[in-house]
Structure 1
Amino acid sequence: MDKQHPQQQWQQAVTAYAQAINRYVAHGQAQGWDDLEEPQHPPTEHLLGAWQSALEAINRPGVDDAQRQAFRQAWPPAHLPLVPLLENHGQGIASLLLLDDGSLLARIGMPYEKGQVVRIGQQGVTPVIGIEHFGRCPQRRYFALANAEGVRVTDGWGGPQVARLHWPSGLEGLPKGYPFEPFDLPPTPTALVPFPDGQRVLLVSDQGIFLLAAEGATRLLPRQAQVLEALAEGTDPDDIALGLSMEHGAVSPDGRLIVLGEQSSRHLVLNEQLELIAEIGPGSEYPHFALFNTTGEQLIVNACHFYNGGTLGVRVADLPGLDTDYYSEDPRTPLLEDGARVYAGVAVADGYIVGDAYGYLRAFGEDGEVRWQHFLGSTISAMDISADGRTLVAASHAGFISVIALGSGRPQWQIGTGDHCEVRRWLFWKGWDKALLW
């Protein structure tokens, strides 16, 4: 029987494992992975009861910041020790934004779940009433706020309303005279992206991708040409699939370009007139994600296969007329990152940070230069970064929201190669009465 206090056992196990993994990765990257044996995590399941009791105690009223910091030193955050609890308690966090006042806006639960929007500030977690989904424009100014009644666009968080947009009926872009059925309910957003003019919103959903505007909705995907082609081939309208999987979309910082796609399409780029100007063959099997860089001069697109994937980079100047096939070796679409299945990402100065299906945050340059990796755990589901680029926030399917101070030094318990420190972690777990701060 180990006579050490559970807290000491936890601290030693988490720290020793992190340092062993970091040495293992450093050796593998420097000298190759042959004959390397991955370190195994020490047994910690017997410590979970004590960990949870200590976590609940530090979240009681009256606890100050110094006590919380001492708790994090004593019980350093980790993912693997919590795996036995995740099946019952873990949940995805669909959307996450870091507001300019330092507070967080999050949707707890995935888009297809009922979920709840909350605001996380110094005073704790507050439900946001009347909003079921949200998004922010690439310039950080306009917010899209959605509920069953429609989509409102506000100038700033809590600012004045500048547009009120209706949900699509579901018949947009479909040939008349055929027995297509309208939506019974509004489509559930996978993403809402207001344009920099504050007057339009890109709606990404598994029932279609639409452009919402004052004059009505326009279907962008599936494209009308696809539907007409299927009808011309004699396909019964009831058999034409209008639903999407792995649907994704992004708007350029100047609002002039839209990139979109789904698992059975190439990555498509539309101009201001919604004309198709580029079709980019993916770097893996299923197109999955897209993101513009901070200047709008480059675009990355990710496609996946199981838990892995490939991310291509494309200069915006090369887009007009670009038409490449799957796994193309066209020099205009180089592979910038090989390995990550990307669900979330942010653009930073001359590069990107993406979250992968293995729980890693991965940073690389616009030229593909590998910069660093940082382990959070579980599949990364949402990310954002502060306007000054110093604070990164990331959420996972484990129900974590992590606040990371970039470039502030790596603590001993952190798995990763970057010089970054997690300063707060929220646990939004199913079955718990409230979210707890670690």
Structure 2
Amino acid sequence: MFRSLVNRFKKSDMNLTEKNIEDIKAEWNTKGSRYVSDINKMVEFGETNGWENWKGKEPEDKRDHLAEAVFQLLKDANKNNTVDAFRNDFPPAHAPMVQFMKAKAQSIQQLQFIDGQKIVFLVGTAYQKRQAYLLKDDEIIELDGSIDAIGKSKQNNVFAIASNNTIVTTQGWEGEIIATFHLHDAKNLAIVELVPFNDGQKVLLTTAMGIFIIANDSEKMIHPLPDPEDEEWEPYMDMENATISNDNKHIVVGDQCSDHRVLDANGIQIGEVGPQSSYPDFCLFSKDDNQLITNSCHFYNGVTIGVPSTELENLNIPAYEESEQYTVIDEEMRVYCGIATSKYYILGDAFGYIRAIDTQGNSLWRHYLGSSLSGIAISDDEKTLWVGSSSGMLHKLQLDKGLRDDHTIATGKHYEDFRLVIWKDEPILKW
């Protein structure tokens, strides 16, 4: 492996020799394992004794000066099909690569599980020209460039694809067409999220200019509520977010300037959940629909609470007040993405952690990936997890398989198969 790397870099400005590469490898691994060990000890202390009692300095990853060489070696490994050997020699790290992310990063969003080891996802935010991809095992396939959004139902394996102001629902990925919706009121709006109903006959469409229920004969904006006293009112929102229960009986919507509103399947409000931090920005039902969780944030931190679904009718939880009506799920995370498994929630936060937390608020494990996390999907058997981030990384993890190396910041035992580096003006790289 090193012989091919040396030959490549003899022709470059870096002039790396085999000794240089061995020295870089040694420093990368020595400093990396020491840094991760120190971070894991800090996390263990904070979770055991309370973060307010941590008096030490936060460890620093001091490998920035190696990043350019390691990135070039990664490119070469991908060209020469020696990624597995490279991964063993240079376990991935986030912090040293931040210097590249400032100019090259892209958000990985709308991850949807298909079957086996296959998912679909989008690169880019709602306000950018997006590109959709299909990932099968470690093979990545570019999809039609006109795709604006991809969603999947909570049950029954219904997919929805938005393209050219048209949404098509299908039974399964690339399956039989169920319904076609031509957008009118929601035409040309940047789609934040798309969730088809379980029968494929309606779609929940989230945009910054309104959250809609799209049906064959109507486009009903269910959030925000118009202000009758403001003649210049517009439905523009920040932190717009919505979810639907797995049985499709309830819809929850919210934004920076609104409580989380609980609606019935037709979009009629039946309850309200006030934020316990500053700004409502995420909501999700448990896998069995017995609990609704809502997150509100303040800068990079936040509070997540859970309420029983049996109490949603006429629910009214005041903002910023302790109450027996809810369970505190978490008091650390600003949640950007999440899924519900049969045992717990897996939530992705603004600091680059995914965390497993159960319905009682017990923190089960955390695993660091880096940057703000922007999308997540899990296999039906709940063994494989894919996580996307705003850094342009897409991670594939095997849950509870055991750590792959001593460079993993985590309290759980999850094995990273690989991460894809999907950056602007660069080839897609496997690490």
Please, what TM-score do these two structures have when normalized by structure 2? 0.91
Percent identity for Structure 1 against Structure 2: 33
Matches within 5 A, 1:86-97: 86-97=101-112
Aligned alpha-carbon RMSD (Å) = 1.7
Q: Is the alpha carbon distance of 1:273 and 1:85 closer, same or farther for their aligned partners in structure 2, counting shifts above 3 Å? A: closer
Is contact 1:310-1:339 (8 Å) kept? yes
Give 3-state SS (helix, strand or coil) of 1:416's partner: coil
Deviations 1:140-166 (A, max 9, x none): 600110012310001100101100012
Residue number among 267, 279, 288 corresponding to 1:286 in the alignment: 279
User: Is the aligned partner of 1:414 residue 2:430?
Assistant: no
| Number of the residue aligned with 2:26 | 8
Deviations 1:202-260 (A, max 9, x none): 0000010000011121110122xx33x32xxxx32xx2121111111111111111111
| Number of the residue aligned with 1:348 | 341
Residue number among 398, 409, 422 corresponding to 1:428 in the alignment: 422
Q: CA deviation at 1:329?
A: 1.8
Deviates more, 1:336-345 or 1:30-39: 30-39
C-alpha distance in 2, partners of 1:254/1:281?
24
C-alpha distance in 2, partners of 1:71/1:140?
41
Aligned partner letter, 1:196: N
Deviates more, 1:355-364 or 1:67-76: 67-76
Q: CA deviation at 1:41?
A: 2.5
User: Is the aligned partner of 1:298 residue 2:316?
Assistant: no
Q: CA deviation at 1:39?
A: 4.2
User: Is the aligned partner of 1:211 residue 2:213?
Assistant: yes
User: Is the aligned partner of 1:384 residue 2:377?
Assistant: yes
C-alpha distance in 1, partners of 2:398/2:305?
28
C-alpha distance in 2, partners of 1:253/1:97?
15
Give 3-state SS (helix, strand or coil) of 1:132's partner: strand
Matches within 5 A, 1:228-247: 229-230=228-229, 235-236=230-231, 239-247=232-240
Structure 1 segments unaligned to the other structure (5+ residues): 171-184
Q: Is the alpha carbon distance of 1:265 and 1:101 closer, same or farther for their aligned partners in structure 2, counting shifts above 3 Å? A: same
| Number of the residue aligned with 2:251 | 258
Residue number among 128, 131, 147 corresponding to 1:113 in the alignment: 128
Aligned partner letter, 1:351: Y
Give 3-state SS (helix, strand or coil) of 2:115's partner: coil
Matches within 5 A, 1:119-268: 119-122=134-137, 124-129=139-144, 130-139=146-155, 141-169=157-185, 185-223=187-225, 226-227=226-227, 229-230=228-229, 235-236=230-231, 239-268=232-261
| Number of the residue aligned with 1:174 | none
Deviates more, 1:397-406 or 1:93-102: 93-102
C-alpha distance in 1, partners of 2:194/2:46?
40
C-alpha distance in 2, partners of 1:160/1:119?
19
Matches within 5 A, 1:314-333: 314-333=307-326
Aligned partner letter, 1:252: S
Q: Is the alpha carbon distance of 1:256 and 1:35 closer, same or farther for their aligned partners in structure 2, counting shifts above 3 Å? A: closer
| Number of the residue aligned with 2:262 | 269
Matches within 5 A, 1:308-319: 308-319=301-312
User: Is the aligned partner of 1:70 residue 2:85?
Assistant: yes
